[in-house]
């Protein structure tokens, strides 16, 4: 194709893009039956200006003709679309089919795979968590194992996403893993049959006979149900309704807004949970709590930090502003916007910021975050691992509890038990009275 022909083609593409945007704008405007004349068209913003279309064509030609490596038109246009969307804000993005599928998995909480969480390891990927009753557990995979080959293909520790993608697949299909295990010289071979796996976003345990602990790692479509089951399990294990709960939202990046709203509703009898403003009817909403508190008014302390974002902040603000919970930790991330996923052609999608949300007190936390009631400073330790049933051997002293291994959990337990002076001293970095004597 000649340079002139390619330029003509690109110019026509720009004109078509402008026409498409004009039509799309009309479709969106027609969703508001009360609008007599769409404002966008009245101001002449319905189509791409001719000069901008010509500039786009010129830039594409320069890149196509002069860039050090050949680039096809499809790649250039895909990159232009991605750049256009991502330039809007930090949270809007254009999703490829693979990225869209990954997002659907993370929000649905369910996928077909073998049921493990992995991290980069030496010569492979290391199993950091094995889900209960998963295909990996049934096959004999252990936490700490290092997967070095998947279906006879070596695993690159630097390409974690590729390893995860290869372990997922159709339900009922088989996968072969070569595993290096500590204390074993030879590689172990496993054949694992993929099955539907439910991601676990909630874990819980009793800290003392009176107080429970619930950690929420993300918000998926199933998180509210998981939370409700966890509370019921804690009630049964305690033999009575606990007096209070520590809800740990540290390093929870968010997820499905509706899940955070449902959990807030589970703990509230009344009050606003969250409100939002946007340009479309769907982007403007107010969520109110309905009667019914699954803990019957038990005390709540929420742990937050700079990794608590989005849906985590919606839950924290809802419980805090309605005087239902006390917050302990560090200032939260400060993401005060809502994104909508819009499917497109060929399996692609648009993740677009459509609303700004406000806490029950009417504040926007965007780029500000939430300041806890008890603000901690100094070096931060990561959340401690949950207690396990086999941490202690018979005849040996009991293993340390989560509350003694995790200083912030210890402070939350002190707050639940009414030792406010000890909480203040702990927040300032001073030594506090041993937890065991306070929990009697």
The torsion region of residue 71 among left (phi > 0), alpha (psi -120 to 50) and beta comes to beta
Are 152 and 194 part of one and the same domain?
Answer: yes
Stronger pLDDT, 197 or 161, i.e. the higher one:
197
Instruction: For residue 132, give Cα distances in angstroms to 107, 113, 166, 197.
Output: 20, 13, 21, 10
CA nearest neighbour of 113 among 148, 146, 150 = 150
In whole angstroms, give the CA distance from residue 255 to residue 235: 27
In whole angstroms, give the CA distance from residue 168 to residue 175: 9
Lowest mean pLDDT among 272-286, 292-306, 323-337, 417-431: 417-431
CA nearest neighbour of 373 among 330, 334, 327, 409 = 327
In whole angstroms, give the CA distance from residue 237 to residue 58: 69
| Residue range of the domain that includes 264 | 202-375
pLDDT given at position 13: 54
Asked if the structure places residue 10 within a domain, the reply is yes
Task: Count the residues in the chain.
Answer: 440
CB 307 within 8 A of CB 253: yes
CA nearest neighbour of 367 among 338, 340, 332, 339 = 332
CB 438 within 8 A of CB 410: no
Q: What is the rounded end-to-end Cα distance, in angstroms, of the chain?
A: 83
253: helix, strand or coil? coil
In whole angstroms, give the CA distance from residue 352 to residue 332: 22
pLDDT given at position 26: 30
State the pLDDT confidence band at 81, using cuts at 50, 70 and 90. Answer: very high
CB 234 within 8 A of CB 208: no
Give the tens place of pLDDT for each residue, 340-352.
Answer: 999 999 999 999 9
Are 73 and 215 part of one and the same domain?
Answer: no
Residues forming the active site:
310, 321, 335
Are 245 and 333 part of one and the same domain?
Answer: yes
- Convert 175-186 to b/e letters by CB count within 10 Å (16 or more is b): bebbbbbeeeee
Are 260 and 343 part of one and the same domain?
Answer: yes
State which H helix or E strand residue 414 sits in.
helix 407-416
Asked if the structure places residue 396 within a domain, the reply is no
Lowest mean pLDDT among 110-119, 265-274, 401-410: 110-119
Are 243 and 361 part of one and the same domain?
Answer: yes
pLDDT given at position 64: 92
Asked if the structure places residue 269 within a domain, the reply is yes
| Residue 316 CB partners (closer than 8 Å, separation 6+) | 249, 302, 304, 308, 325, 327, 332, 370
This prediction has a pTM of 0.78
In whole angstroms, give the CA distance from residue 284 to residue 119: 40
Give the tens place of pLDDT for each residue, 165-187.
Answer: 899 889 999 999 999 998 888 99
Last residue within a domain, chosen from 198, 223, 246: 198
Are 83 and 173 part of one and the same domain?
Answer: no
* Per-position DSSP letters for 199-212, written without gaps between them: ---EEEEESSSSEE
pLDDT given at position 381: 85
Asked if the structure places residue 26 within a domain, the reply is yes
Lowest mean pLDDT among 217-221, 227-231, 388-392: 388-392
| Residue 207 CB partners (closer than 8 Å, separation 6+) | 213, 246, 401, 402, 403, 409, 413
Are 210 and 183 part of one and the same domain?
Answer: no
In whole angstroms, give the CA distance from residue 249 to residue 264: 13
For residue 353, what is the domain's CATH number? Answer: 3.90.226.10
Are 222 and 369 part of one and the same domain?
Answer: yes
Number of C-alpha atoms within 13 angstroms, CB side, residue 356?
Answer: 9
Give the range with max mean pLDDT: 98-112, 288-302, 417-431.
Answer: 288-302
In whole angstroms, give the CA distance from residue 164 to residue 179: 15
Are 80 and 145 part of one and the same domain?
Answer: no
Last residue within a domain, chosen from 176, 198, 220: 198
* Bridging pattern class, strands 272-278 and 349-358: antiparallel
CA nearest neighbour of 11 among 45, 59, 44 = 59
Last residue within a domain, chosen from 87, 118, 151: 87
Are 69 and 118 part of one and the same domain?
Answer: no
Are 342 and 225 part of one and the same domain?
Answer: yes
Asked if the structure places residue 386 within a domain, the reply is no
CB 77 within 8 A of CB 330: no
Mean pLDDT for 325-349 is 96
State the pLDDT confidence band at 45, using cuts at 50, 70 and 90. Answer: low
Mean pLDDT for 212-229 is 96
CB 437 within 8 A of CB 208: no
Asked if the structure places residue 94 within a domain, the reply is no
| Residue 172 CB partners (closer than 8 Å, separation 6+) | 193, 194, 195
CB 277 within 8 A of CB 349: no
Asked if the structure places residue 13 within a domain, the reply is yes
In whole angstroms, give the CA distance from residue 425 to residue 364: 31
Domain count, the chain: 4
The yes-or-no verdict on residue 263 having pLDDT over 80 is yes
Are 158 and 59 part of one and the same domain?
Answer: no
247, 248, 253, 255 alpha-carbon torsion, rounded to 10°: -30
For residue 279, the Cα-to-chain-centroid distance in whole angstroms is: 25
Lowest mean pLDDT among 198-202, 313-317, 318-322: 198-202
The torsion region of residue 435 among left (phi > 0), alpha (psi -120 to 50) and beta comes to alpha
Asked if the structure places residue 380 within a domain, the reply is no
């Amino acid at each position: 194709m000649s340079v002139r022909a390619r330029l003509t083609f690109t110019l026509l593409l720009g004109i078509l893009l402008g026409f498409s945007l004009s039509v799309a704008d009309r479709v969106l405007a027609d969703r508001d039956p009360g609008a007599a004349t769409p404002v966008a068209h009245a101001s002449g913003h319905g189509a791409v200006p001719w000069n901008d279309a010509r500039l786009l064509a010129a830039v594409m030609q320069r890149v196509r003709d002069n860039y050090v490596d050949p680039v096809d038109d499809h790649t250039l246009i895909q990159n232009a679309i991605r750049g256009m969307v991502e330039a809007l804000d930090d949270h809007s993005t254009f999703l490829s089919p693979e990225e869209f599928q990954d997002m659907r998995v993370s929000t649905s909480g369910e996928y077909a795979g073998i049921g493990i969480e992995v991290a980069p390891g030496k010569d492979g990927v290391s199993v950091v968590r094995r889900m209960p009753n998963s295909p990996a557990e049934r096959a004999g995979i252990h936490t700490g194992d290092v997967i070095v080959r998947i279906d006879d293909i070596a695993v690159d520790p630097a390409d974690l996403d590729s390893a995860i993608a290869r372990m997922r697949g159709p339900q009922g299909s088989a996968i072969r893993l070569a595993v290096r295990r500590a204390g074993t010289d030879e590689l172990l071979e496993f054949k694992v049959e993929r099955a539907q796996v439910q991601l676990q976003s909630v874990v819980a345990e009793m800290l003392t006979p009176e107080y429970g602990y619930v950690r929420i790692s993300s918000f998926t479509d199933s998180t509210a149900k998981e939370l409700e089951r966890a509370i019921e399990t804690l009630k049964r294990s305690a033999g009575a309704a606990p007096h209070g709960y520590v809800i740990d939202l540290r390093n929870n990046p968010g997820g499905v807004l509706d899940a955070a709203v449902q959990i807030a509703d589970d703990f509230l009898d009344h009050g606003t949970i969250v409100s939002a403003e946007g340009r479309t009817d769907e982007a403007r909403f107010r969520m109110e709590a309905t009667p019914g508190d699954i803990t019957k008014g038990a005390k709540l302390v929420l742990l937050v930090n700079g990794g608590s974002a989005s849906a985590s902040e919606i839950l924290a603000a809802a419980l805090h502003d309605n005087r239902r919970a006390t917050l302990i930790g560090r200032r939260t991330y400060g993401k005060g916007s809502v994104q909508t996923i819009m499917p497109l052609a060929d399996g692609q999608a648009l993740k677009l910021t459509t609303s700004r949300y406000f806490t029950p007190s009417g504040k926007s936390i965007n780029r500000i975050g939430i300041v806890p009631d008890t603000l901690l400073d100094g070096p931060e330790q990561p959340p401690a691992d949950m207690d396990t049933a086999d941490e202690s051997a018979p005849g040996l002293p009991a293993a340390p509890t989560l509350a003694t291994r995790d200083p912030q959990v210890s402070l939350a337990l002190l707050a639940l038990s009414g030792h406010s002076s000890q909480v203040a001293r702990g927040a300032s970095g001073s030594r506090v009275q041993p937890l065991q004597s306070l929990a009697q």
